[in-house]
A = this chain, B = another copy of it.
Amino acid sequence: MKLDFSVAVHSLLYLDAHRPNKVASRELAQSLHLNPVMIRNILSVLHKQGYLIGTVGKNGGYQLEKLLGDINLGDLYDLTIPPSLSYARFITGPSKNDEQVNKSAIAANISETLTDLFTVADRQYRAYYHRYTMADLKEDLHHHGTFLAKEAGL
């Protein structure tokens, strides 16, 4: 879900701003206006991938391991919103298992064509995020308009 990406971005910015402190999921939850369980689920993915150090217990919390400039936005997008393995629910016509004698040439072939089209479009979409790091995002936070300004050069 796209919100997971936003939660990851917001959390990483928050941890960066609070270096070298440990930040509890409860504190992040207050800043993000979200439930601590949701925060913990998303941060556990980032933790497994080595973005964060996590300490459990009374004085525990999260600390950012990487520099913002070393965190690629596309990697973060792929991690929090994995690519679809199947576009079946977005494609018309009979399912693969339907044994229809009179299946038309269009109905028989449209699934493969639309899957290719959607797959390449999605890869193009993700390639956009891969152009930037969290440091670019932090720059836009302080000087809005950098992503819009760079669009012309794409």
Chain A positions within 8 Å of B, measured between CB atoms, are 2-3, 5-7, 9-10, 13-14, 17, 31-34, 73, 87, 89-94, 104-107, 109-110, 112-114, 116-125, 128-129, 132, 137, 140-142, 144-145, 147-148, 150-151, 154
Selected from B10, B122, B123, B145, the residue in CB contact (under 8 A) with A110 is B10
B124–A92 contact, CB under 8 A?
A: no
Q: Which residue of B lies closest to A136 (CB)?
A: B117
- Copies of this chain held together in the complex: 2
A106–B12 Cα gap in the complex (Å)? Answer: 11
Chain A interface SS verdict (over half): helix
A105–B24 Cα gap in the complex (Å)? Answer: 19
Q: Shortest distance in angstroms between A118's beta carbon and chain B's nearest beta carbon?
A: 8
Given contacts A10-B106, A151-B123, contact A33 B92 (CB under 8 A): yes
Q: Which residue of B lies closest to A32 (CB)?
A: B92
Selected from B10, B106, B116, B147, the residue in CB contact (under 8 A) with A117 is B147
Selected from B2, B113, B125, B128, the residue in CB contact (under 8 A) with A144 is B113
